[in-house]
Structure 1
Amino acid sequence: MHSYLNTSRPPVYCPGCTHESITAGLDRAMGSLNLPADKTVMVTDIGCSGLFDTFFNVHALHGLHGRALTYATGLKLADPSLNVIVTMGDGGLGIGGAHVLAACRRNLDLTLIILNNFNFGMTGGQCSVTTPADAVAGSEFLNQAEIPVDICGIAESAGATYVARCSGLDTNLHEIVAAGINHKGFAVIETLGMCTGRYTKKNRLSPSVLQQMVEDLPPKSGLVARNQRPEYGERYRELCLQNCRYPEPVTVGHQVDFPDYHRQEIAILGSAGMRIVTAGELVCHAGLAAGMNVSMKNDYNITVLRGQSVSEIQISPRKIGYAGSTAPTVVLALSDEGVQQRKKLFATLSPGTFVLKDKSVNIPPCTAEVYEVDFKEWKIAKPDWALAALCFLATKEQAINWEMLDIALKAQFQGKIYLSALGIADKIRCAMATL
């Protein structure tokens, strides 16, 4: 059995620190399993536990405080053949608690070793999530107002399939760690230890006290029977094979010639529920069908079903560098909410700008050419106003024509929805014939 320890960078801890015993135990566990060094990764957190990656001759990744499990997850999913071992202190445990819970739920094949020495030893001995309420910590009375976390109990209830707890000085530590590494699933191993640089200066702690603490807590000694289930990575890949059917990418070729096409900026100003984004996508598709470059920028509330909905589209024979609207050539004013969101835009409009507004919508004074329609009188439902406005543009050959729009409609819609869109187009043609 060989050692994985880096002889050019031997472990250096405070005298009496339990981390040294844990380092040796981990090395012995890895040796007993004969792990290939080139297939083993040590992922470490911030703090004294974060030194582990420098002490072993294996691959290593040292990241942000509390985030070690996120990196480990990415590594394991990217290369399932890796043996990924994570070391984390009780400081990182508290800071990255949500990641610990997620790892327990997933059951990805990772081994997490928590080096619990009851304080933030590297930054002054402040209390952590595991500091006993009666301990003296470097953060005054704060730990007296909280109860310490039982991470093993939490891990078990969150779904971890292997949970063990022991003293960092336990003579069987290497066996417990080896069993965790060998386990196919997420393994949590909590080791209780002494921080001689900070914690034990003000709190009585010894090997026998550590062992008594372990015995006083609910026993956690390995497999959690009720949580046993398939390993996440294997299950994920199995489900992908069963369920992932990727559609063929939609390609839009140059199908329509629109002679002397000039760069267009179309601003569609509406509200949630008016299918403004869909209308913007139709305009983009129509532009692509004419062999143009297109861009689209949307603005809508996070509530989705309430508030403004604005789409700004550019169609240009040249490359587009900025997606926002700076000098609109076409404005579709379909709701007061959308207009209010872009009211400053109207002061910049030129006399050549084409503005289409519904009768119910108020717009600020502008010098543009304004067309007013009454979609309600034309018996067009409000969710269809944006599409109706595009049909109006196509009839006027403003930015798009009917051939471009029809190609876009066929690409976006199918069956009854496409026929319904054609019905709206017919209503607009008939209505405009009477203007």
Structure 2
Amino acid sequence: MNSLLNSERPPVFCPGCSHDRVTQALDQALQSMNLSGNRVAIVSDIGCSGLFDTFFNTHALHGLHGRALTYATGLKMARPELHVIVTMGDGGLGIGGAHLLAACRRNLDLTLLVLNNFNYGMTGGQCSATTPPEAQVSSGFLNRLENPIDVCRIAGPAGAGYVTRVSTYQKDLPARLEKAMAFDGFSLVDIWGMCPGRYTRRNKLTPGAIEDALGALPPADGPADAGAGKEYGRHYREIAAGMKPVPPPAKIEAQFTPPRTERQEIVILGRAGQRIITAGELLGLAGITAGLRATQKNDYPVTVLRGHSVSELVLSGQPIGYTGIGQPDVIIALADEGVARRKKMLEGLTGNPLIIRASGVELPPCDAQITEADFRARKIRSSDWALAALALLAGHGRIITTEMLKAALGIRFKTAVRDTALELVDRVQAG
């Protein structure tokens, strides 16, 4: 098998950098496994380890700092036949610690190579999650405040199937990498090395010192004692195979003629509990039944059960390139909370748009055609005001028709809920 190293982008590291040795060892391991470039994907992190994806003629993905395992997970789930290798430094290890734990728990068939040189080498030699407390680094005394992470002692109990520590300078490094990559499940290789550009300028570190330090740690060489579960990808596919397939999205046929085909902007202003978002969805569905395109944007606080609720709709017979609301054609104002949320929009109205306002809701001075609806006097519950307002809007024949609204109710709801909603529409329009 030929080398997979990229001759047009040969590895370039600082003189004496251990990453160069890992690059060569990884290439030897891939050759020994007889893997061609189209069968391998290298997912890299940020930092010096993040250069690996450019050095190999394989599939590659270069992501954000600490997030490489998340990309690799999606890649492996989508393409289980690929050998997915993640290269990450000790910086990415610390930043992406939660992602590491998730990868261990899942036991997905990935191989993580942690290129551990005890500092953030690319950004100036600051302390990382693995920096010894006695080391001298550019970030001052911060590394003296906490113990360094032993990733192997974390990964095994967290569920990783295969965990091992190695020195960059071991002669059998290619074989050790091959064993990890051949493991059926999540494998982690903690590779200790030197950063001559930053770390070893202030700290005495040699291959022998690395070997002694590794020998003083609890053994970590191969399948973890914790007993990992089934390989995640295979287990996922086993369960998914026994489930009913997801039906295709429902297709809504255009069956009505809309009152207008030009772009129409509608804003529904209310509060939590008034089913504002559902009303917006119904309005969009109603437009689609007449062949219109529809977009919906919603605004509500994280509390959900209290506060404002706003839904913004655009309906148009032409493609909608911009979903923002400039000067709405129709505003439905059902609660003071929603009105307060869009006060500036209301104050800046032009063109005399239609406002359907629930009695008791205060509006700022604005240029608009206001229609008042006393839903309380008609004994309509607050949770039904939004649907009642849509019934009034349909009666105007300005955005949607009654037939379009009723068709939307038939799409959105079933049986009893649909029938109750249709009765409400008829009652509101009957006056």
TM-score (norm 1): 0.87
Which secondary structure state, in structure 2, belongs to the residue aligned with residue 226 of structure 1?
coil
Change (3 A) 1:112 1:353: closer
- Counterpart position of 1:44: 44
Which secondary structure state, in structure 2, belongs to the residue aligned with residue 301 of structure 1?
coil
- Counterpart position of 1:184: 184
Task: Decide which moves more: 281-290 or 148-157.
Answer: 281-290
Change (3 A) 1:62 1:428: closer
Counterpart contact for 1:118–1:199, Cα < 8 Å: yes
How big is the shift at 1:186? 1.1
Whether 2:382 is the aligned partner of 1:382: answer yes
Counterpart contact for 1:351–1:369, Cα < 8 Å: no
Quick one: which amino acid aligns to residue 237 of structure 1? R
Change (3 A) 1:84 1:352: closer
How big is the shift at 1:157? 3.1
Change (3 A) 1:141 1:417: same
Quick one: which amino acid aligns to residue 109 of structure 2? D
In structure 2, stretches of 5+ residues that fail to align are none
- RMSD (CA atoms): 2.9
- Counterpart position of 2:361: 361
Which secondary structure state, in structure 2, belongs to the residue aligned with residue 181 of structure 1?
helix
How big is the shift at 1:6? 5.7
Change (3 A) 1:43 1:423: closer
- Counterpart position of 1:283: 283
- Counterpart position of 1:296: 296
CA–CA distance in 2 between the matches of 1:164 and 1:385?
A: 63
CA–CA distance in 1 between the matches of 2:259 and 2:54?
A: 66
Counterpart contact for 2:4–2:36, Cα < 8 Å: no
CA–CA distance in 2 between the matches of 1:54 and 1:394?
A: 59
**Matching of residues 219-298 of structure 1 within 5 Å:** 219-243=219-243, 245-257=245-257, 264-298=264-298
CA–CA distance in 1 between the matches of 2:15 and 2:368?
A: 80
Change (3 A) 1:278 1:52: closer
Counterpart contact for 1:40–1:84, Cα < 8 Å: yes
Change (3 A) 1:43 1:395: closer
CA–CA distance in 1 between the matches of 2:263 and 2:61?
A: 50
- Counterpart position of 1:87: 87
- Counterpart position of 2:418: 418
- Counterpart position of 1:408: 408
Counterpart contact for 2:259–2:397, Cα < 8 Å: no
- Counterpart position of 1:313: 313
Q: Deviations over 1:253-298 (max 9, x none)?
A: 2322356777643322111111111111212222222333433332
How big is the shift at 1:220? 1.1
CA–CA distance in 1 between the matches of 2:263 and 2:197?
A: 69
Task: Decide which moves more: 37-46 or 275-284.
Answer: 37-46
- Counterpart position of 2:199: 199
CA–CA distance in 2 between the matches of 1:103 and 1:252?
A: 41
- Counterpart position of 2:211: 211
* Sequence identity (%): 52
Change (3 A) 1:334 1:172: same
CA–CA distance in 2 between the matches of 1:280 and 1:250?
A: 18
TM-score (norm 2): 0.88
Change (3 A) 1:163 1:340: same
Change (3 A) 1:195 1:360: same
Counterpart contact for 2:93–2:100, Cα < 8 Å: yes
How big is the shift at 1:322? 3.3
- Counterpart position of 2:30: 30
Larger radius of gyration: 1
Counterpart contact for 1:265–1:330, Cα < 8 Å: yes
CA–CA distance in 2 between the matches of 1:327 and 1:124?
A: 52
Which secondary structure state, in structure 1, belongs to the residue aligned with residue 66 of structure 2?
coil
**Matching of residues 328-343 of structure 1 within 5 Å:** 328-343=328-343
**Matching of residues 148-159 of structure 1 within 5 Å:** 148-159=148-159
Which secondary structure state, in structure 1, belongs to the residue aligned with residue 242 of structure 2?
helix
How big is the shift at 1:182? 0.4
Change (3 A) 1:243 1:271: farther
CA–CA distance in 2 between the matches of 1:344 and 1:51?
A: 50
Counterpart contact for 1:378–1:427, Cα < 8 Å: no
Which secondary structure state, in structure 1, belongs to the residue aligned with residue 386 of structure 2?
helix
Quick one: which amino acid aligns to residue 128 of structure 1? S
Which secondary structure state, in structure 1, belongs to the residue aligned with residue 226 of structure 2?
helix
Quick one: which amino acid aligns to residue 300 of structure 1? Y
How big is the shift at 1:234? 2.1
- Counterpart position of 1:128: 128
CA–CA distance in 2 between the matches of 1:68 and 1:385?
A: 48
Counterpart contact for 2:262–2:318, Cα < 8 Å: no
How big is the shift at 1:71? 3.8
Counterpart contact for 2:260–2:399, Cα < 8 Å: no
Quick one: which amino acid aligns to residue 143 of structure 2? N
Change (3 A) 1:258 1:34: closer
- Counterpart position of 1:119: 119
Task: Decide which moves more: 417-426 or 45-54.
Answer: 45-54
How big is the shift at 1:301? 2.0
How big is the shift at 1:135? 1.3
CA–CA distance in 2 between the matches of 1:169 and 1:30?
A: 18
Which secondary structure state, in structure 2, belongs to the residue aligned with residue 140 of structure 1?
coil
Count of residues in Structure 1 that have an aligned counterpart in Structure 2: 431
CA–CA distance in 1 between the matches of 2:58 and 2:317?
A: 54
How big is the shift at 1:60? 4.3
**Matching of residues 48-127 of structure 1 within 5 Å:** 48-53=48-53, 55-127=55-127
Counterpart contact for 1:346–1:364, Cα < 8 Å: yes
Counterpart contact for 2:259–2:398, Cα < 8 Å: no
Task: Decide which moves more: 397-406 or 47-56.
Answer: 47-56
- Counterpart position of 1:167: 167
Task: Decide which moves more: 204-213 or 52-61.
Answer: 52-61
